[in-house]
Structure 1
Amino acid sequence: MAIVGTGYVADLYMRSRDLHPDIEVVGAFDIREGRLAAFCRHWGLRPFASLAEVLDALPGEGIVLNLTNPDAHYAVTRASLEAGRHVYSEKPLAMDLAQAQDLVNLARSRGRLLGGAPCSYLSEAAQTLAAATRAGVCGPVRLVYAELDDGYIPQAPHQKWLSESGAPWPYENEMRTGCTLEHAGYVLSWLVAMFGSIHSITAFSAATIDKGLEGGCTVPDMSIGILKFRAGQVVRLTCSIVAPHDHRLLMTGDKGTLEVRDTWDNSAKVRFRRRFVMRRRLMEAPLPRRIRLAEGPARRRARRRGSASMDFLLGAEEMFRFLHEGDTNRCDDRLALHVTEAALHLQNAGEASETYMMQTACDPLPALGWAQKLR
């Protein structure tokens, strides 16, 4: 694997390298020479002088890890696919659906793999929740509340947020890209992996706060979406950089509720509250039962970094596993494209959105080998 783009998020991927000793990072490239030098010096990597040099250095089954700014995702991924390389891209695949679909079509025509972040749906927490829904722990899932609020970010000391190799958190780029496009995928990927295709979305998005950027910024800093899945589930998804930090996911079914308190924690606990009647009252159990898998992943757990405890290389690992073992690729272009389409609509819905009918589709994903059964 080779890294293209050595900004803040690249260090998060490199921190996960110790969890995946079979993955070799052959080097990195960035158009900013100083940033590239600092990153490669910190991690002991070879600096490449150009994207072309990266593509020449990668073996035939190597993967380009596209960690550039969102505006550059399309061009870098397209060049890599045209050179016959597999690509794993940070979110989103592209900044509009037509470009994302073009990349998928190109990857398929060249027989190359194209995967996209986020990959936390491959985590222990997400796989446990999926196993619980398949087993009917809470009964058929009817309604899901998902929160992705990150606090009042413009007032946070983000100027002090530095990666391990010294890259500043890209505040302006994050604000101008939009928090929904940056973050909604963390929940969308979980839900699509579990339930399959989204049928329709009714959404609202708006700019509610001054982000302190020169020239202003009217990119929405909050969104609320109602998603109807083809399998019948209804989801309310909220995303903002305004409301207090909250990354909870709550599923309501006929028998009770399943809850994950922090979807940015790969090993977060999955809890079930049974619903019952006591005298004349309908209640959920005050003491939840923890749901566990019969076995868990063999690797060590990811360490916490800032507000997240995530293994950023799970997606690349899944692509490598498929390349070497075949079977099912759980990090394929259908999921990345469907999640990109949904996030783009949620971000860009505006204040007078009509119901949007999804154009792409994705089947539910099979469980990982170690996540087949509950205790």
Structure 2
Amino acid sequence: MAPKQAHGQTFIERRFDMTKGRVAIVGTGFVADLYMRSLASFPEIEVVSAYDINPANRARFCGYWNIRPAQDLEQLLSDQSVALVLNLTNPASHFTVSKACLDAGKHVYSEKPLALSVADARELCELAAKHSLELASAPCSLLGEAAQTAWQAVRTGKIGTPYLVYAELDDDFIPRAPYTKWRSESGAPWPYQDEFAVGCTLEHAGYYLTWLIAMFGSITRVISATGDLIPEKPIGNAPRAAPDFSCATLYFESGTVARLTCSIIASHDHRLRIFGENGTLEIARSWDNNSPVKLRRRYALRRKLITSPIATRIRLKQPTHPKVGRWGAASMNFALGPAEVLSAIAESRANRLSSKFALHLTEATLAIQQGDGVHEMSTRCPPIEPMDWARTS
């Protein structure tokens, strides 16, 4: 069970039957510790077991967090008290593990991407629908305070009509960083071979794609280009390294257009800027749920158009969600996604992180990674509801 952790922030706490708040983890690597620390902020959610194909990893993780180890996936899935399985395996295993969980009648929350092909992602969504199960995927930062604040500002017309978005997800020169020494809280190494093989686009683009899809609707067209600029990155048994740079132009059904860049070469930059007719919204850190959302208004002054040099911070008046500490470059509550799925199940309502949303996100991300020019999107997702605490200010 995740250890309790005190938080100074107040928040709207969702209560539900504890039987529906029992989860199991498959994959006990680096990211699993981030989930455990985040789950500690939701004491109504209990982690009852964990499994990893590597016995040493399983023993390390379960021993550190005092969780019952499952000897195999079948044993974990046979526990009738488990409502939701968190699929935290490496990306190449996401499809197989999620399919096994759905076949066993379990709701699934998967780390990103949902699958490594649109066909596999679509198969998972169809399987979930067939069995009336929830299927969702990371990232869940859309549910965080920074994203919800920015979205509320767009909805209430703070910048007028939003026309253009610049989104940056550059992580500095990672191939030259001491990544072999990076360890999680329980001692798991950073999975650098998987990271370089899967690539920064599949790993990171979703952090802003989810925000933009929620704000501006489904993506209708993706135009992308990529580059593998540092080919000597370690990738284990993978056939080749994924691109370490991508740049995409995204066309949304609302008419808004966005430019999204991802790289592990350019200096660290996680800014988001939304340009509207009356001003600009600015967020400096996409991986920080509490990153300030700032507004710069635009004025017509005599014969000039002036953008205010002074940015005003926009805040929500009501409590939002539990915050967590900073781990490396991130200060995100990874449990917001699982908590949303469990709450939706308990309340018999639509899950904000629906399978159609996950499928649309997967297709868009893969289209950017492929970098083969114009991709007309084949999927759409239904409108997404803002969090209750972000509906008004």
Coarse TM-score class (shorter-chain normalised): over 0.9
Q: What are the Cα deviations for residues 87-108 of structure 1, in whole angstroms up to 9, with x where unaligned?
A: 0000011100000000000000
Secondary structure at the counterpart of residue 158 of structure 2: coil
Contact 2:95 2:121 in 1 (8 A): yes
Corresponding residue for residue 93 of structure 2 = 72
For residue 361 of structure 1, the aligned residue among 375, 380, 386 is: 380
* Structure-2 separation of matches of 1:295 and 1:58: 37
1:132 aligns with 2:158: no
Corresponding residue for residue 55 of structure 1 = 77
Letter in 2 for 1:361: R
For residue 42 of structure 1, the aligned residue among 53, 64, 85 is: 64
For residue 23 of structure 1, the aligned residue among 34, 42, 45 is: 45
Contact 1:124 1:296 in 2 (8 A): no
- Give TM-score scaled by structure 2 length: 0.92
Corresponding residue for residue 245 of structure 1 = 268
1:91 aligns with 2:112: yes
1:288 aligns with 2:343: no
Secondary structure at the counterpart of residue 19 of structure 1: coil
Measured after TM superposition, the shift of residue 210 of structure 1 is 3.6
Letter in 1 for 2:389: W
Aligned residues: 369
Measured after TM superposition, the shift of residue 279 of structure 1 is 3.6
* Structure-1 separation of matches of 2:390 and 2:241: 43
Measured after TM superposition, the shift of residue 18 of structure 1 is 1.7
Secondary structure at the counterpart of residue 355 of structure 1: strand
Cα distance change on mapping 1:274 and 1:48 into 2, 3 Å? same
For residue 163 of structure 2, the aligned residue among 117, 137, 142 is: 142
Cα distance change on mapping 1:211 and 1:302 into 2, 3 Å? farther
Measured after TM superposition, the shift of residue 217 of structure 1 is 4.1
Q: What are the Cα deviations for residues 257-276 of structure 1, in whole angstroms up to 9, with x where unaligned?
A: 00100110001111000001
Q: What are the Cα deviations for residues 235-288 of structure 1, in whole angstroms up to 9, with x where unaligned?
A: 000000010110000000000000100110001111000001334332211111
Say which is worse superposed, 34-43 or 215-224, in terms of deviation.
215-224
Q: What are the Cα deviations for residues 64-102 of structure 1, in whole angstroms up to 9, with x where unaligned?
A: 100001000000000100011100000011100000000
1:261 aligns with 2:278: no
Letter in 2 for 1:335: F
Matches within 5 A, 1:51-200: 51-59=73-81, 62-200=83-221
For residue 272 of structure 1, the aligned residue among 261, 278, 295 is: 295
Q: Give RMSD over aligned pairs.
A: 1.3
1:226 aligns with 2:249: yes
Contact 1:3 1:66 in 2 (8 A): yes
Identity of aligned residues (%): 49
Contact 1:194 1:364 in 2 (8 A): no
Measured after TM superposition, the shift of residue 355 of structure 1 is 1.3
Secondary structure at the counterpart of residue 273 of structure 2: strand
Unaligned 5+ runs, structure 2 = 1-22
- Stretches of 4+ moved more than 6 A in 1? none
Contact 1:193 1:363 in 2 (8 A): no
Measured after TM superposition, the shift of residue 55 of structure 1 is 0.5
Measured after TM superposition, the shift of residue 367 of structure 1 is 1.2
Contact 1:189 1:339 in 2 (8 A): yes
For residue 230 of structure 2, the aligned residue among 184, 195, 209 is: 209
* Structure-2 separation of matches of 1:326 and 1:218: 43
* Structure-2 separation of matches of 1:358 and 1:172: 30
- Give TM-score scaled by structure 1 length: 0.96
Contact 2:113 2:202 in 1 (8 A): yes
Measured after TM superposition, the shift of residue 58 of structure 1 is 4.1
* Structure-2 separation of matches of 1:333 and 1:151: 32
Contact 1:2 1:58 in 2 (8 A): no
Corresponding residue for residue 370 of structure 1 = 389
Letter in 1 for 2:343: R
* Structure-2 separation of matches of 1:94 and 1:329: 20
Secondary structure at the counterpart of residue 236 of structure 1: strand
* Structure-2 separation of matches of 1:57 and 1:6: 18
* Structure-1 separation of matches of 2:153 and 2:37: 30
* Structure-1 separation of matches of 2:240 and 2:130: 39
Letter in 2 for 1:360: T
